Amino acid sequence: MPTFAPISLPAPRGPLSAAVVALLRDGTAAAADPAVPDADPYGDDLHLALHLCYELHYHGFAAVDPEREWDIRVLTIRARLEQRFLDALRRDVTGGADLDRELAALLSEPAEPTGVGAFLRRDGQWWQLREYFVHRSIYHLKEADPYAWVIPRLHGDAKAALVAVEFDEFGGGHGERVHSRLYADLLDGAGLESGYLHYLDIVPAPMLALVNMMSLFGLHRRWRGALVGHFASTEITSSPASKRMVDTLRRWDAAPACVRFYAEHVVADAVHEQVMRAVIGDLLRQDPGLLDSVVFGIQATELLEGRVARQLLDHWAAGRSSLREPLPAVDAAAQGSRRP
């Protein structure tokens, strides 16, 4: 049975995360103010520090005072970390207001798909699939939670349509079908730990950055358009990607729980794609000034998903683990065998 209990604070990855850990653990302010402007905006230290600040708004951490959620010192350093991250995202995406072009690009796939899913289907090994599951656990054990923050910031048809998508993400009223629960079941089926954020210590910055972007957009009303753009990007690309994973996992004779998670998304997200288009359409009819923000959310998502893919593929191409520490080896008989 998966557990969603708060975890202990992880080990710091540099001065920024060390300062946040000390503040959360015992209220100790850093002796020297961490140099946020000099930090790598996509690096491990900044994104662990930011993830720790955001986690206070989700499940929190064991032995951390709940009052830290609104501690002005935490909010102050969080704002500085966010600004460093946002500045980099704005610098590294093209921007603009051509929403039709962005949506068309999401829907177009090359004759020979590339990326992590295509690699796993064609050449992937079971240990690489398990690493992929660990990376995505930081996202999928939250899944739809960050999007809930945008609900009170929408109106009319846009709000109603987005809530319809969220209803599906949260299992349609059935706890055992909540997508985060299905992913915990997937982890169990793959012989991995299914506890909430169990692998936070070993997942590197690219996945933390993607989840931090979701939290940032969700927590700030001014970024509601970007969050809708991100949500639409995820739903539009999910169905074909999930179909590839279903095919891959069936070739490996993976546990039914592994297949079920992705099979659920093949059907559900094909519908959600159309619903999210309706959300965008009504949102922009109500507030045309959000067009640039919606486009930014789509582009930032593609940028950060690309960084996740490079992290995995570059390490695997070199024959190395893509995690900060490799997973324990599994018994060959327990991992099944890949069918042609």
Residue 315 contacts by C-beta under 8 Å, 6 or more apart in sequence? 321, 322
249, 259 Cβ separation under 8 angstroms: yes
pLDDT interval class at 332 (50, 70, 90): very low
pLDDT given for residue 114 in this prediction: 79
pLDDT in tens, 127-180: 999 999 999 999 999 989 999 999 999 999 999 999 999 999 999 999 999 999
Q: Counting Cβ atoms within 10 Å, is residue 113 exposed (0-12), middle (13-18) or buried (19+)?
A: middle
Backbone dihedral angles phi then psi of residue 26, each to the nearest 5 degrees:
-140, 15
What's the pLDDT at 337?
Answer: 60
Nearest CA-CA partner of 232 in 297, 155, 291: 297
Mean pLDDT for 206-230 is 98
Alpha carbon distances (Å) from 338 to 185, 244, 266, 327, 332: 21, 15, 22, 20, 12
Q: Give the whole-angstrom CA distance, residue 34 versus residue 72.
A: 16
**Looking at residue 335, what is its pLDDT?**
56
Task: Supply φ then ψ for residue 73, to 5 degrees.
Answer: -70, -40
- 68-101 pLDDT, tens digit per residue, is 999 999 999 999 999 999 999 999 999 999 999 9
Question: Does residue 193 have a pLDDT over 80?
Answer: yes
Mean of pLDDT values over 27-53: 89
**Contact yes or no for 53/19 (Cβ under 8 A):** no
Q: Is the predicted pLDDT of residue 211 greater than 90, yes or no?
A: yes
Residue with tokens 């709000």: 159
3-class DSSP state of 7: strand
Question: How many residues are there in the chain?
Answer: 340
Lowest mean pLDDT among 65-79, 107-121, 132-146, 208-222: 107-121
Give the separation between CA 289 and CA 299, rounded to whole angstroms: 17
CB 219 within 8 A of CB 159: no
Residue 280 has pLDDT above 70, yes or no: yes
The long-range contacts involving 263-268, CB below 8 angstroms and separated by at least 24 positions, are 264/177, 264/179, 264/182, 265/179, 265/238, 265/239, 266/239, 266/242, 267/239, 268/168
Measured CA to CA, the distance from residue 147 to residue 142 in angstroms comes to 10
For residues 258-287, average pLDDT: 91
Neighbour-count burial for 47-71, b at 16+ CB within 10 Å, e otherwise: bbbbbbbbbbebbbbeebeeebbeb
C-beta of residue 159 within 8 angstroms of C-beta of residue 286: no
Could you give the 3-state DSSP secondary structure of residue 213?
helix
Structural domains of the chain, ranges and CATH numbers in brackets: 15-92 (no CATH), 99-334 (1.20.910.10)
